[in-house]
């Protein structure tokens, strides 16, 4: 089967750094993505790692270790607007043979003043 595990909730203060971990077990693997979703809103793409290592996009960085089936999202200089749910998602080969996104359980980030 497929499973992606994330912490259910993380709290931090403005200006801090927070790391959200994701461990996965999938039958196939074609990369790890991260999506942000505010309450009542749509998921929006943050980053993608196809190979091991660190990808940086502004205040956000994402890391992947394929040998450890592990990745994380690093958020720096936290702002109140970063309060949202964060989902890791693995590209896996579905039952029809195409690559599909399988989402993790989601991590709710609460940023306080």
Partner 1 sequence: DAMVIQNPRYQVTQFGKPVTLSCSQTLNHNVMYWYQQKSSQAPKLLFHYYDKDFNNEADTPDNFQSRRPNTSFCFLDIRSPGLGDAAMYLCATSRDYGPQRQFFGPGTRLTVL
The two three-digit tokens of residue 82, written as one number? 């970063």
Which spans of this chain sit near partner 1 (rule: CB under 8 A)? 30-31, 33, 41-45, 48, 50, 87, 91, 94-96, 98-106
Closer CB to partner 1, 43 or 71, in the complex: 43
The two three-digit tokens of residue 5, written as one number? 């595990």
The two three-digit tokens of residue 88, written as one number? 């890791």
Shortest Cβ 13–partner 1 spacing (Å): 24
Q: Please list the residues that pair with 56 across neighbouring strands.
A: 61
| Phi, psi values for residue 72, rounded to 5° | -150, 160
Shortest Cβ 42–partner 1 spacing (Å): 4
Handedness of CA 4, 44, 58, 92 (dihedral sign): positive
Shortest Cβ 15–partner 1 spacing (Å): 28
Closer CB to partner 1, 16 or 54, in the complex: 54
Closer CB to partner 1, 30 or 59, in the complex: 30
């Amino acid at each position: 089967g497929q499973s992606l595990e994330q912490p259910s909730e993380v709290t931090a203060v403005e200006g801090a750094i927070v790391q959200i971990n994701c461990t996965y077990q999938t039958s196939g693997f074609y990369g790890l993505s991260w999506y942000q979703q505010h309450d009542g809103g749509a998921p929006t793409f943050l980053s993608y790692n196809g190979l091991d290592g660190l990808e940086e996009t502004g205040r956000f960085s994402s890391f992947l270790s394929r040998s450890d089936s592990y990745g994380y999202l690093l958020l720096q200089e936290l702002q109140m607007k970063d309060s949202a749910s964060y989902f890791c998602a693995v590209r896996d080969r579905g039952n029809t043979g195409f690559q599909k996104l399988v989402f993790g359980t989601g991590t709710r980030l609460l940023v306080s003043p």
